[in-house]
Amino acid sequence: MNNKTDLKKYIGMGIFSALAFVVALVCNIIPPVAGFLSLDAKDSVIAIASFVYGPVSAVVISFIAAFIEFITFSTTGWYGFVMNFASSAVFSLTASLIYKRLRSLNGALIAFFAAVIATTGVMLLLNRFVTPIYLFDYLGAMPEQVAKDYVISILPTVLLPFNFAKSLLNSSIAMLLYKPAVSALRKTGIAKGNAKMEFNKSSVIIISVGAVALISALVILLIIW
């Protein structure tokens, strides 16, 4: 029984890893305001997987998706791999750890709010210290000190709102798609639980919060675009 359960879990993790990669490949948008940034929704896919399979799975799927992107279509080298993995892992791991302890509507909302804050903070730190290396060493686009000064100058005006909006966008998509995605997995037997998707008060609240978060994220992105 345990072997069968583990096999279903690994199959599910494989599906989510492949889906995260496809989303990153198809929906990868480079904002004109800073060419080293990328906007995609794969973190929402990984977050849903982390709610189903747990925190460890969040890190594993984040690594697999980032690594496949690194060896296929990515043009940002090790820098892109580090940033992609960090973004996905921090976002999904934070959400999963909180939701694992608070399996309720409030728990889900707190989990996504905390994931947005944690990811924004971590990515700002990485932008501050890793992005200058990318601009100076990997691209050779500008001298080292100029690269550092440039990144520092756009931290509050571009990087902070972009990271926040991207995390908020992924949260909103995860909230909107979580129940349908889990219901589909349960119908196939890959995930445990009742396959019937219940539409109740909690569903309405999650969908409403997700819709507001989605609109807010899009507005922020349009402002800094």
Average model confidence (pLDDT) for the chain? 88
Q: Is the pLDDT of residue 196 over 70?
A: no
pTM score, whole prediction: 0.91
The secondary structure of the chain as a DSSP string is -HHHHHHHHHHHHHHHHHHHHHHHHHS-B--TT-TT--B-SHHHHHHHHHHHH-HHHHHHHHHHHHHHHHHTT--SHHHHHHHHHHHHHHHHHHHHHHHHH--SHHHHHHHHHHHHHHHHHHHHHHHHHTHHHIIIIIS--S-HHHHHHHHHHHIIIIIHHHHHHHHHHHHHHHHHHHHHHHHHHHHHTSS-S--S----HHHHHHHHHHHHHHHHHHHHHHHH-
Topology of domain 2-26+41-224, CATH: Arp2/3 complex 21 kDa subunit ARPC3 (1.10.1760)
pLDDT of residue 74: 86
How confident is residue 104, by pLDDT bands cut at 50, 70 and 90?
A: confident
